[in-house]
Amino acid sequence: MSESSPEHSGPKTESRTTVNAERSASHELRRGLSTGSALGLNVIDMVGVGPFVTLPLIVGVMGGPQAMLGWLMGALLSLCDGLIWSELGTAYPEAGGSYAYLKYLYGEKTWGRAFSFLYAWQLLISAPLSIASGCIGFSQYASFFLPSASHTFAATSLFGVPVVLSGQTLIAMAACGIAIVVLHRSIFAIDRIVRWLGLVVGLTLVLVIVVGFMHFNVHRAFNFPAGAFHLNGAFFAGLGAGMLISAYDYWGYYNVCFMGAEVRDPQRAIPRAVLGSIGVVATLYLLMDISVLGVLPWREMTQNTDSHARSFTMAVFMERLYGHTAAGVIVVLIALSALASVFALLLGYSRIPFAAARDGNFPAWFGVLHPKHRIPMHSLLTLGSITLLCCIFRLQEVITTLVVVRILFQFLLQGTAALLPKHRRERRIRGFQMPLYPLPVLLALVGFVFILFSRPHFLREMRTAGVILIAGSLVYVLRYFSKWNQSENIQTER
């Protein structure tokens, strides 16, 4: 009997098939993120240092305890948008989240490819700045124990943005470095880490809430100024500013969608993580707002011109009730929350350049996986390295601009895609289906447009978005013609 007979070729063919399958699997991400960890990942991304620092800001722009309306409106906007993410995340449970949604819904070979590229392009700019804000938040809280760290070594301006080198800068860079090192492991190990970080962040918020209600003064908490709810231009301007702040504090409920290819049972886990995190965090934010206002008079909170004291509002809150040691404890917990958010942001965002590279829309270098841990190590290291550089900036004004950029390049494009005929067909046959469709989509779009147009520097921020769009479009066109020439040369050689 010849060697090519079925009796001999069968086992060899089977063996080759097994080897090829193993090789293919070694080049793919692994589904190791549980539903509980997916929920925890979203929560630590959402919280970070944001609500602890922005509480006096939102009270200030809204002019009193009616700031709780800003938290409620932000929660409603997040819920409507979260329903969009839940639908798209279960319809396309892939790495990159929005990158995949824009590509599929606008056309894989037409506008969808361009929109997904532009989304990934702006992310190389916006994501490191967002992550760096978490690093700087960590360094600011760490300086509670190291006051001399705020001393400036050098200061200048780069492209009109203030650049500062200080001890806080080095601490912020160290925070980024720690996150990169911790993320250098398998998704199964990360799954366990996320659970513990989620517990720490949740307990920090609960601690503030419990302490506040133990010393609660109802008249102080609800001491509304005259005309607080008078529906005039000032009211809506304050509401728009408050929603911008609260929207930024809520953002992160979609982080699990960027890791769609690494979630176990995405059809159940993604909606539960997205909507569950919004419900949990919205409840905690509102209770925290009320509990702190029941201890610290809102006028004192907003009229305090000492930026250091405003940054440590929660430390002042605890020190007034239990002394300096208690203030130190809450500072440590908030610093850990900030570090956890850096971890979550780097984890989720690193999957987007990876997805674009695997799709051929970004350089292949970004699509390389670690041979053992199977994580997108080049994408992770690139974003981490850019973040290290961004730690030298003062990001307060830059971040508000980036919120506008993210609304334009992600939320509005994605929300509009959820109304397209292609998605209307797809949603009937697979994935999570939002109730009252398309009402939540329309409400989300209206909310984001309201935030855009209520910005005092809207036109300036739109110009920034325009520069990013033009630069990305030029890069996309150059890459397109480069690939076209390469294919033409290959055909000529043949």
Query: Tens-digit pLDDT profile for the chain (494 aa)?
Result: 434 444 444 544 444 444 344 444 556 899 999 999 999 999 999 998 888 888 888 888 888 899 899 889 999 999 999 999 999 999 999 999 999 999 999 999 889 999 999 999 999 988 998 898 889 889 988 888 888 887 888 878 766 667 888 898 999 999 999 999 999 999 999 999 999 999 999 999 999 999 999 999 999 999 999 888 888 888 888 888 888 888 888 989 999 999 999 999 999 999 999 999 999 999 999 999 999 999 998 888 777 655 555 668 888 899 999 999 999 999 999 999 999 999 999 999 999 999 999 999 999 999 999 999 999 999 999 999 999 998 887 756 556 666 778 888 899 999 999 999 999 988 888 889 999 999 999 999 999 998 888 777 777 778 878 888 899 999 998 887 777 666 556 556 65
In a domain? residue 483 = no
Which runs of E-coded beta strand occur in 64-166?
152-158, 161-166
What span, in angstroms and rounded, lies between the C-alpha atoms of 365 and 349? Answer: 16
Indicate the pTM of the whole model.
Answer: 0.88
Pair of tokens at residue 107:
């056309």
In a domain? residue 317 = yes
In a domain? residue 311 = yes
pLDDT at 428: 84
CATH of the domain at 119: 1.20.1740.10
Q: How far is CA 180 from CA 110, 173, 341, 378, 433, in A?
A: 36, 11, 12, 11, 36
In a domain? residue 8 = no
In a domain? residue 494 = no
In a domain? residue 490 = no
Pair of tokens at residue 211:
């302490």
In a domain? residue 369 = yes
For residue range 12-24, list pLDDT tens digits in order: 444 444 434 444 4
In a domain? residue 92 = yes
What span, in angstroms and rounded, lies between the C-alpha atoms of 193 and 380? Answer: 17
How many domains does one find in the chain?
1
Instruction: Name residues whose C-beta falls within 8 Å of residue 284's C-beta, 6 or more positions apart in sequence.
Output: 202, 205, 206, 209
Instruction: Name residues whose C-beta falls within 8 Å of residue 21's C-beta, 6 or more positions apart in sequence.
Output: none
State the residue range of the domain holding 208.
Answer: 31-477
pLDDT at 262: 96
Q: Which residue has the tokens 């943005």?
A: 161
